[in-house]
Chain A
Amino acid sequence: EPEVTQTPSHQVTQMGQEVILRCVPISNHLYFYWYRQILGQKVEFLVSFYNNEISEKSEIFDDQFSVERPDGSNFTLKIRSTKLEDSAMYFCASRGESPGDTQYFGPGTRLTVL
């Protein structure tokens, strides 16, 4: 069964460093998302991406964040200068073309900022 994959599973970085989180969505999906979950809290929407551009972004998704689909398979989230409060689980999700299609989540990348 097709699945969303994410790498790395765990990333440790120093405050102020740049990180890139990678996702490979399900191959025939066209809509891509990033969510984050701070430990013990609910899952929060960051950004949605369609047709090579951002469709919607939340207040969390400020200038420190960017997304890119550099090739036909990868979808990346970049944090330019990490802060302690960026420590969280980051989930990538994708869905198919139909508005009713379900978003399928990857296993997540746990980001720890020291």
Chain B
Amino acid sequence: AQTVTQSQPEMSVQEAETVTLSCTYDTSESDYYLFWYKQPPSRQMILVIRQEAYKQQNATENRFSVNFQKAAKSFSLKISDSQLGDAAMYFCAYRSPRGSGDKLTFGTGTRLAVRP
């Protein structure tokens, strides 16, 4: 079974600075999808960014980018120019593309605080 590990329960960053959240995963599959979801205090799950394993190029969405290291099974999220609104819980998630019963497997999350 796939597992996702987020080793940083909490992180803190100064506003306008850059922060990197770590995620590692374990899988025997060669093709899969990886995601970062943001969960603000409202507890809604908001997609931040996604990466297809077959793509070598790291995904980027505005201030958010990933460092995807397939051989190392690492998928870190970099937030540049951090804003107060970035303060939230961030979950890394894995999904297999197999069949129709695909599910997201989540890590335990990293709580990000942004200092003004």
Contact = CB atoms under 8 A, between A and B. Distances in A.
B103 A100 contact: no
Nearest to A50: B100
Interface residues of A, number: 27
A68 to B, nearest CB: 18
Given A43-B91, A100-B33, A102-B35, A56 B103 contact: yes
Size bin of chain B's contact surface: 20 to 34
A108 B43 CA distance: 8
Contact of B47 (A31, A43, A104): A104
Interface string B91-116: 10101010111111111110000000
Contact of A48 (B46, B93, B102, B106): B102
Nearest to A37: B43
A102 B50 contact: yes
A2 to B, nearest CB: 14
**Dominant SS among interface residues on chain A:** strand
Given A44-B106, A107-B44, A99 B50 contact: no
A105 B100 contact: no
Nearest to B99: A55
A95 B45 CA distance: 14
A108 B33 CA distance: 23
A42 B45 contact: no
B107 A42 contact: yes
25 contacts: A31-B100, A33-B104, A42-B106, A42-B107, A42-B109, A45-B103, A48-B102, A48-B103, A50-B101, A55-B99, A55-B100, A89-B43, A93-B45, A93-B104, A100-B33, A102-B35, A104-B47, A105-B37, A105-B44, A105-B45, A105-B47, A107-B42, A107-B44, A108-B45, A110-B43
Interface of B: 33, 35, 37, 42-47, 50, 52, 91, 93, 95, 97, 99-109
